[in-house]
Amino acid sequence: MSIRDVAEQVGVSIATVSRAFNAPDQVAPETRRRVMQAATQLGYVPNSSAQTLRRQFSKVLGVVLPTLLNPVFAECLDGIAQMAAANGYSIVPMTTDYQLAGEEAAVNRLLAYSVDGMILVVSNPQTSQELVKLQARSLPYVLLYNRHADHPCVSVDCEGAMGQLIHRLAGMGHSRIAMVSGQLAASDRSQQRYRGYVNGMRECGLDAYDLVEVPFMDAVVSRLAQFLGAARRPSALVCSNDLLAIRCLRAAHVAGLEVPRDLTVVGFDGIELGRDLTPVLSTIAQPNREIGRRGVQLIVQALGKGRTLDPAASLTLSHEFHEGESCAPAAS
Amino acid sequence: MSIRDVAEQVGVSIATVSRAFNAPDQVAPETRRRVMQAATQLGYVPNSSAQTLRRQFSKVLGVVLPTLLNPVFAECLDGIAQMAAANGYSIVPMTTDYQLAGEEAAVNRLLAYSVDGMILVVSNPQTSQELVKLQARSLPYVLLYNRHADHPCVSVDCEGAMGQLIHRLAGMGHSRIAMVSGQLAASDRSQQRYRGYVNGMRECGLDAYDLVEVPFMDAVVSRLAQFLGAARRPSALVCSNDLLAIRCLRAAHVAGLEVPRDLTVVGFDGIELGRDLTPVLSTIAQPNREIGRRGVQLIVQALGKGRTLDPAASLTLSHEFHEGESCAPAAS
DNA sequence: TTGTAGGCGTTATCAG
DNA sequence: CTGATAACGCCTACAA
């Protein structure tokens, strides 16, 4: 059922039907009524492929995320969806599973869909070919969580945040502080957080541990429990994300340690679930929904001006340390 | 950059460019090479709006889910994405936030996108107007998690599962077993699980508690802690989902109870995170990814046959009780 | 207020 | 093996 069917049913031209939808005030009230009724009755919905083809925009924003299995991104997407809806945009989320090939596939597909703009979390803004592709087409885009001087980004200063955290822990008497992360190569955030850790440790005059890199989430608990059982085990663990921190909590238990008495654990992200765990997860909380919202806002603004987004429009939102219960002064 | 630009660049007709993409063997190897090179160079990607308009299918499946903040659905979506990709389909997920209005909006938008089929989790299959709409258009669809004789569904027998659970708990000496759920009206699954609870209690000769309905996730811990502090508190809590069960764990702690010594807590869903909590969450695990995969499989089959899906094609997958650590015999 | 018609980017048919 | 062209559903000048 296309616009034709509605037109025939009402006995009017297709132009009138189109107008009834797009410029209701240009059509006689009675005609409009009959058109709308027929449309409802037939279950007519304007075909957006045709619309997109004819207009030269789609009112759709593409969203590229690593995964939705990490609540950080699910929360962020929630914010994106909210703000997009509020501005009359639809979103099409795609997932890359932290793979470069996934990023390329997602971007290409979204380009084919003629999205009006794109919001993405990439692995490495510096080397991403996809971003070049977007620039070449002058398609407005914004990065979330990523930070890079050459691209418009919405993020928090995670390097600084991690540095502050080290200072705080040092202030609580911790000196044996280790850092746990996922695959470092898969995320510039982890790299920045690690830099923050290294710098923080240096500033505090402490010896940094080698990074504990746990590429696969399923083996992480046993791997960590083993680490925690070793000699000169750390008294505090900082994690590059909350999901990892939760596994550290478990690993500590498996290793016979009690948190926070025997081990302090701090995460990064501020996922909502962390607040309802026991112990409540200490974490550096990012405003995940707000990051999503602001990203959309920037894109919508750019779209309004018919412009692409300037890297100078980048936003650094503020993070917040959530004290939680997984964090305590070092035993003296 | 459209097919025209590529054609001009190569000095060939648009038909040839089209064929280079869709029927490579019908075009001379050398021509094909030049077309492909020009396409890459120009960054040409076939416009899928135009494709969808011309072909009468999109190779896209619409997915309608309540939320992605609950990992059950994120995991399920992961399965959907996998299987869809394996069959050459893209997916467009939309979220309803458990609202009927959201279901309508999502379905309408997906119809406008001319998706080839739809996979959905609805609030109430019995009364859903959206499903009627899909039937009227003979658009293949399948429900996930929902169970209803008149619709093709992929689900587990959650009523039965909950009944079995009650028997198991009763066998462990529990007699004061209460059930906690979210807003009952928002989900037929919860209703079925509650039925299973009521029946199970009756079969075991136990008095069912009034359902503890906690509509808003944020108030749930204090609400529950209060409940757990009351006289004749239950010795076991069964929850209509894992997210709720995790909050119950917290509420127990807040109320000064130790799980499982003072209180047994069992969830429903089997989200992956539950396995890494302390205590490990006991739960009735559903094969979430598999549910997603099988749903796609059914749709793809139907699409292959050019048919709509028969309710008789419904699948009941098996659930599995995960013992966990949040579960223990009743104190004697 | 309403109708006519061209064209958005593709694919597929039909000739050559 | 390649080219010309109609049609997919819609919107929007331009006419009436």
Radius of gyration of chain B (CA): 25
Report which residue is nearest nucleotide D13 when distances run from CA to C1': A15
User: From edge to edge, which strands make up the β-sheet containing A212-213?
Assistant: A212-213, A177-181, A236-239, A264-269, A282-285, A320-322
- The confidence band for A285, taking pLDDT boundaries of 50, 70 and 90, is very high
B21 CB below 7 A from strand C atoms:
yes
pLDDT at B331: 83
* Confidence check: pLDDT of B54 > 90: yes
For B200-217, give one letter per residue: b (16+ CB within 10 A) or e.
Answer: bbeebebebbebbbbeee
Q: How confident is the model at residue A31 (pLDDT cuts 50, 70, 90)?
A: very high
> In the complex, which nucleotide's C1' lies nearest to the CA atom of residue A19?
D11
Largest Cα–Cα distance in chain B?
88
C-alpha–C-alpha distance, residues A69 and B77, integer Å? 9
Residues B4, A309, A109, A316, Cα dihedral to 10°: 170
> Which residues, listed in sequence order, are joined to residue B144 by a DSSP beta bridge?
B154
- Distance of CA B152 to CAs B107, B132, B143, B146, B297, Å? 17, 13, 6, 9, 12
Confidence of residue B101 (pLDDT cuts 50, 70, 90): very high
State which H helix or E strand residue A118 sits in: strand A117-120
Residue A213 confidence (pLDDT): 95
Whole-model pTM: value is 0.97
Tens digit of pLDDT for each residue in A42-96? Answer: 999 999 999 999 999 999 999 999 999 999 999 999 999 999 999 999 999 999 9
| Average pLDDT of the segment spanning A114-131 | 98
CB B31 within 7 Å, strand C: no
pLDDT for B256? 95
- pLDDT average, residue stretch A243-250: 97
**What's the pLDDT score for residue A75?**
98
Cα–Cα distance for residue pair B59/B303, rounded to 1 Å: 10
For B173-263, where are the alpha helices, taking DSSP H only?
Answer: 188-203, 220-229, 242-254
Residue B29 vs residues B3, B12, B15, B35: alpha-carbon distances, Å: 19, 14, 15, 10
**Whether residue B67 has pLDDT greater than 90:** yes
pLDDT of residue A218: 82
φ and ψ at B84, to 5 degrees? -65, -50
Q: Is the pLDDT of residue A232 over 90?
A: no
Q: How far does the CA of A17 sit from the C1' of C8, in Å?
A: 19
- What's the average model confidence in pLDDT over A159-172? 98
Q: Give the mean pLDDT of B20-40.
A: 97
Chain B interface, Cβ < 8 Å to A: 43, 45-50, 52-53, 58, 68-69, 71, 74-75, 77-78, 81, 90, 92-93, 95, 108-109, 111-114, 133, 136-137, 221, 243, 246-247, 249-250, 253, 272-273, 276-278
B332 pLDDT exceeds 80? no
Contacts of A198 (CB under 8 A, 6+ apart): A208
Return d(Cα A246, Cα A262) in angstroms, integer.
16
Q: What is the mean pLDDT of residues A294-314?
A: 97
Q: Which two tokens stand for residue B225?
A: 């802690």
Measured from the CB, is B50 under 7 Å from any atom of strand C?
yes
Residue from the list B52, B75, B95 with its beta carbon closest to the beta carbon of A69: B75
Q: A240 pLDDT exceeds 90?
A: yes
For residues A244 and A252, what is the distance between their CA atoms, to the nearest angstrom? 12
Least confident of A103-112, A208-217, B64-73, B200-209: A208-217
Summarised one tens digit per residue, pLDDT across range B42-52 is 999 999 999 99
Across the range B147-157, mean pLDDT stands at 98
Q: Please say if the pLDDT value at position A332 is more than 80.
A: no
Q: Which two tokens stand for residue A99?
A: 């793979």
Q: In this predicted model, what pLDDT tens digit does every residue of B225-283 receive, in sequence order? A: 989 988 889 999 999 999 999 999 999 999 999 999 999 999 999 999 999 999 999 99
Half-sphere exposure of A23 (CA within 13 A, CB side): 6
B48·A247 Cβ contact <8 A: no
How distant is the Cα of B246 from the closest Cα of chain A, in angstroms? 7
What local confidence, expressed as pLDDT, does residue B261 receive?
97
* Residue A54: nearest nucleotide (C-alpha to C1'): C8
Q: State chain B's mean pLDDT as an integer.
A: 97
Confidence of residue B57 (pLDDT cuts 50, 70, 90): very high
Residue B173 amino acid letter: G
